[in-house]
A and B are shown apart, each in its own frame.
Chain A
Amino acid sequence: FNPVKATPEGGISDIVEKSIKDAQETCAGDPVSGECVAAWDEVEELSAAASHARDKKKAGGSDPLEEYCKDNPETDECRTYDN
């Protein structure tokens, strides 16, 4: 089976950029061919993946204190008691 591959370093942005260039080239010859349509579909899939990754990253680092407290719950600034 396909081994689990980690997300390539350097970011998905590079892949999106490349896929757009590919799609533009593929469609230059024949704008309604299956290859052209599939190439733009790939662009959409990658753009969606990039946007999801951005959202996830934003949500993760939105609050520096919360991030810190996840790792250090026993420190003065992080301790919370229910009663």
Chain B
Amino acid sequence: MAVSTIYSTQSLNSTHFLTSSSSSSTSKHVFFYRRNQSQTNRRFNTTIITCAQQQTIVIGLAADSGCGKSTFMRRLTSVFGGAAEPPRGGNPDSNTLISDTTTVICLDDYHSLDRTGRKEKGVTALDPRANDFDLMYEQVKALKSGVAVEKPIYNHVTGLLDAPELIQPPKILVIEGLHPMFDERVRSLLDFSIYLDISNEVKFAWKIQRDMAERGHSLESIKASIEARKPDFDAFIDPQKQYADAVIEVLPTQLIPDDNEGKVLRVRLIMKEGVKYFSPVYLFDEGSTISWIPCGRKLTCSYPGIKFNYEPDSYFDNEVSILEMDGQFDRLDELIYVESHLSNLSSKFYGEVTQQMLKHADFPGSNNGTGLFQTIVGLKIRDLYEQLIANKATAPAETAKA
């Protein structure tokens, strides 16, 4: 017995056609077709309604551009198994990544203004006015309740809004981009949220590494670009971190005085307390304040070494636990020594964190806290997903009994 809901808050001008698939009992499709004349880009707005019993959980990942969202996404999908690939046979510039369990959509696809539109109005992509939160809410809500949608594609090369692509409801939907927690309605749909908080010093160092080889770029142009976007970043993107269940903060190291290379990092994993199905990781003893230098007889460290820190704290009036790692590993397999002293990792077997890190030793951040904490958050999300699904399976049975 499937329960169907039809989602469309915008008025439907015409019902183009209406079908229901013949054989499948769990999945029925109804197509509503609407052409929106008011929009200048003449984008098709199509909503497809599917009735299915499968439940989708939604994860939000917020970060600025060039801050390692894609590396995090690759680590996350790897925890669930299988590689994420762009949709087959579709637009070559599609931003979507699909694997067996996860679908990652890039929120740039919900830009309401294309590149020329933003230039004419003098707004950046960070500005809420350049984004269509109504459509974002409708489509994420539809996907969460098992309904496929026709999502627009923002083409990063041409700067235009391309023809939409069909997105099927996955088991796990990840929405990544600048504003996953900006709109209150979209925020209420998220089962878990993550914010990647890269400090200005590190952001600058990373962009130099990324862009210096590019023609036309100089230190001045990289600096100017960061400076110009900063007011909008501070106004619209940064405040979202107060809503995140987990924040990964990346700061310059304190182990080397006056380091500005951005290669050695101090990374903090800030985990909110009291979130359902999410129990924060701890070091040695839950709720204590601990500083730990693992280097010694059991772990070889060269300069500048490794330093861990664990403490309870408050963050935007929320109670949090903070796990911090400063420094980097020389030999990744020795990470098992660190892993064995961390608790509540939600791993399925002893050594899973180390194994996941070794699997992707070539990804950026594999020898420091960014890779370690991204992997840990990936395991926590898997645990949350499994608990949510198990709970949803038992809930209908209980209501039936009562």
Contacts and interface: CB of A to CB of B under 8 A. Distances in A.
Interface of A: 1-8, 12-18, 20-21, 23-24, 27, 33-53
A2 B215 contact: no
Nearest to A49: B156
B229 A44 contact: yes
A34 B129 CA distance: 13
Interface of B: 41-44, 65-66, 70, 91-93, 115, 118-119, 121-126, 155-163, 207, 210-211, 214-217, 221, 224-225, 227-229, 231-232
A33 B231 CA distance: 12
A34 B397 CA distance: 56
B125 A41 contact: yes
B215 A37 contact: no
A7 B158 CA distance: 7
Given A37-B124, A37-B232, A41-B225, 6 more contacts: A4-B163, A13-B214, A18-B216, A34-B122, A43-B225, A47-B225
Contacts of B124: 37-38, 41
A1 B232 contact: no
Nearest to B161: A2
Contacts of B155: 5
Contacts of B229: 37, 40-41, 44
B35 to A, nearest CB: 10
A12 B157 CA distance: 7
Nearest to A22: B119
A24 B221 contact: yes
Contacts of B215: 13-14, 16-17
6 closest A-B pairs by beta carbon, nearest first, are A34-B122, A17-B216, A40-B228, A41-B124, A49-B156, A20-B216
Nearest to B156: A49
A7 B122 contact: no
Given A7-B92, A49-B157, A41 B217 contact: no
Contacts of A36: 228
A70 B214 CA distance: 30
16 contacts: A1-B162, A3-B163, A4-B163, A16-B214, A16-B215, A20-B217, A20-B221, A23-B225, A24-B221, A37-B122, A38-B121, A38-B123, A41-B124, A41-B125, A41-B225, A46-B156
Given A4-B163, A5-B158, A8-B157, A44 B123 contact: no
A19 to B, nearest CB: 8
Contact of A42 (B42, B70, B159): B159
Nearest to B232: A37
Most chain A beta-carbon contacts within 10 A, residue among B158, B210, B228, B229: B228
Nearest to A11: B215
Contact of B211 (A7, A35, A47): A47
A49 to B, nearest CB: 4
Contacts of A5: 155, 158, 160, 162
A27 B224 contact: yes
B216 A21 contact: yes
B70 to A, nearest CB: 7
Given A24-B221, A52-B70, A38 B158 contact: no
Nearest to A3: B163
Given A2-B41, A44-B225, A38 B163 contact: no
B228 A41 contact: yes
Nearest to A15: B157
A48 B160 CA distance: 16
Nearest to A13: B215
A45 B159 contact: yes
Nearest to B35: A1
A24 B44 CA distance: 36
A16 B229 CA distance: 17
Contact of B118 (A23, A38, A49): A38
B123 to A, nearest CB: 6
Contacts of B227: 40
Most chain B beta-carbon contacts within 10 A, residue among A21, A36, A40, A53: A40
